Structure 1
Amino acid sequence: MFLVVVLAVIGLSLGALGSAIVQRLSNPVARYRQLYLGVLLPFALLSYAVFRLLGFGYAVAGGGTGTVGTLLATFIELLVAGAVGLAAYAPTVRGVRSVRDIELSTGRALARMGRYVLGLSVFATVVIAPLETGLPSVVLLAAVAVLVVAVQAAAPWIIPVVRSVRRPDESTGATLNRLRERAGLTVRDVRILDTDREEMADTTVRGVPGYRRLFVTSTFLDAFDDETATALLAVQAGRQDARVLARVVGGLLLTLVPLFVALADVGPLWPLVGVSLGLVVGSLWVARRGVRAADDHAADRVGPDAVADALERYAAVHDMEPSRRRFANPFSKSPPLGNRIDRLREQAAE
């Protein structure tokens, strides 16, 4: 337990220092996202690697080596690593609250993230634990692929487990149906995510053809007028048409193939790791192409100026400055928001 305390203290210090630096940078909201993805998440993964190397989970679980013992040890290691990540996340909440001027308590933010950590730990346990069972690599790869696809298919029911969700009332439901029809977005039903404290105005569509569910946040309903909401829903319709999520998931599974080949000792480790890294870059390029196709789809539906205005309004609601880059980040699944806006403005001018 001493190791857990040490890593938690390091994480707490890392989060506090990173938050202090980010608040002094331009476009701090976007920088906080980079802090989470580029610093705090890798630190949590490093903590998991340390726990795994030291056999922390087996020590806590009593040293069992059977299937149940493996599952329990893996879950413990993932959950404790997630707790270390939460310790690193905690001191950043105050900074986010300051730069976005929102009323989000640290306790509420940690409770919400704790639900994510718990759900992700369960999912990752099911993926990781079989790797220690000695099954052939082909079987393991197939099992991981089936599990990932199954989770995506079950997402309409999984999200309500880890998030606070409610059905729209009759008036709100009628409004959303009208906006969806204007946007060309086809889903089976709608659920509203409670984000009044976080003020995150987002939409997402999850599920398989025939049962796709639209999730909109309560802030989305409050912050955007009908024109803006329609344009953003049209972007979601474009993502559905361009199969952006399928591109991301398919790319992820493709990048795992060389790693499982290396696991089977069929080929040299580091060249195969290099191939996997190349596939990551290539699959993310394909995903960015899908995002551009989704913007084009929305522009054809409601007009490029309307989509550009909606993206600018989206950035304003989240206190973000739309970022622009001469060259896209090869490890990003979406082009910079500012570049997307500029591209739509050019289409409108033409």
Structure 2
Amino acid sequence: MSPVTIANAVLVLLLVFVPAFWFASRRALRSSTPTRWLRRLLVALWGVAGLTYATLFTLGHGLVVRTTLAATTPISDTSLLAEFAVQLTAALITAAVTLAVYATLVPAIRDVQEIDLPVRTALRSLGRYALALTVLFATVFALLIRALAEGGPVTYWLLLLGVIVAISVANPVLAHIFRDTRDPTPAERERLRERCDRSGLSVSSIVILDDMPETAGIHVYGVPGRRQLFVTERVLEAFDDETLEAIFAVHAGKRRTHYRSYAVHSLLGYLVLGVGAFLFGSETLVTIFILLVAVLALPTLWAARRAFYRADDYAAAVVGQDELVRALEYAAEEQNLELVDGGHWVVFKSRPPLGRRLARLREKSARSEEIASTPS
């Protein structure tokens, strides 16, 4: 295939996705639950990225880049550098298409959240994240593909495991690369540190995220002993001390109940096994892996949800049931979240919906009051 064919395919994707997402965002604004539909559209952007990336390689993007490099540079078309160039150009094109589609959602996000968010500002913030992610993606994929081609299964497995461990450990560093950050002022540090101490959340440092002023986000990254707390400026403005303490207590509870191990590390384990089975296994091994996932996936998700509930219980013990409910409701209102129950689909989620969590906390509070009021 020629570069012109690939360029035409990218243009077709833009002509399909840009108006489709714009129309969907307008429809979302007229629905009874606009926030939920906009969140679904934001998640669907990963589908846009995946389809764009797959289209590029289906049309021979890799061959075009390697041929161009061989004709214009001394770089071998089978070298690691050539593979990196293939993956980087594909990732950059994919990011550009995804950002163009995301731009159609910004006006709807601005209307729903009632904030001043120029499209240029939103694209600049997400564009920096996308650029850093494309470089990381291209580096990792180039290394894995060359390891598979030259080093064999053992080298591939060791490299894949090393990448997963490195990314897990390097989360705080990646957050600094992907986001605009600043150090807290002395007053901000004292306020947040006191809330951490009262909630039982142990962190080594505190970082302020100042690139997405419309988002109220709280994140804890890093390994035990070196965890860092990241909060957006919106959190400092909108959340009072009691709300901060309650939310921090939930984060502390998640670490005490090892929620991340159930929700994330188990998923990475399935990913490693699945990649190995499909690349190096026989049909029998692939069948065994599919059966293994079918048997263990739902119990793993159930265990993750139970860990989240135990985290809520820890937070309730620290700040009180009623205060935790109030804080979660306030945070949901601030972020325009619908308090949904999740229905039967909750069995496929690792994190219980906020509406279900609140209902459980209210039920426990009512039960406690009933027991307390019962004569002995």
CA distance 1:139–1:347, shift in 2 (3 Å): farther
1:59 aligns with 2:64: yes
1:1-350 aligned within 5 A: 1-37=7-43, 39-60=44-65, 62=68, 64-133=77-146, 134=149, 135-194=151-210, 197-198=213-214, 200-256=215-271, 257-268=273-284, 271=287, 274-275=290-291, 278=294, 281-350=298-367
Shift in Å, 1:58? 4.0
Unpaired stretches in structure 1, ≥5 consecutive residues? none
Identity %: 34
Distance 2:79 2:132 in 1: 23
Distance 2:292 2:51 in 1: 20
Unpaired stretches in structure 2, ≥5 consecutive residues? 1-6, 70-76, 368-376
Structure with the greater alpha carbon radius of gyration: 2
User: Is the CA contact 2:133–2:178 (under 8 Å) kept in the aligned structure 1?
Assistant: no
Across the two proteins, how many residue pairs are aligned to each other?
348
User: Is the CA contact 1:242–1:290 (under 8 Å) kept in the aligned structure 2?
Assistant: yes
Shift in Å, 1:216? 0.9
Shift in Å, 1:186? 0.4
CA distance 1:310–1:286, shift in 2 (3 Å): same
Q: Deviations over 1:276-312 (max 9, x none)?
A: 7535555433332222221111112111221111110
Shift in Å, 1:263? 0.7
Q: Which amino acid aligns with 2:191?
A: T
Distance 1:266 1:338 in 2: 44
User: Is the CA contact 2:258–2:307 (under 8 Å) kept in the aligned structure 1?
Assistant: yes
Q: Which amino acid aligns with 1:284?
A: L
Distance 2:256 2:172 in 1: 19
Q: Which amino acid aligns with 1:124?
A: F
> SS of the counterpart of 1:211?
coil
> SS of the counterpart of 1:288?
helix
Q: What's the TM-score, normalizing by structure 2?
A: 0.86
Q: What's the TM-score, normalizing by structure 1?
A: 0.92
CA distance 1:303–1:190, shift in 2 (3 Å): same
Shift in Å, 1:40? 2.4
Q: Deviations over 1:36-94 (max 9, x none)?
A: 21x32212101111112222144145252221111110121122112111111110000
CA distance 1:43–1:66, shift in 2 (3 Å): same
> SS of the counterpart of 1:329?
helix
Q: Deviations over 1:143-184 (max 9, x none)?
A: 222212211211212211111111111111111111111111
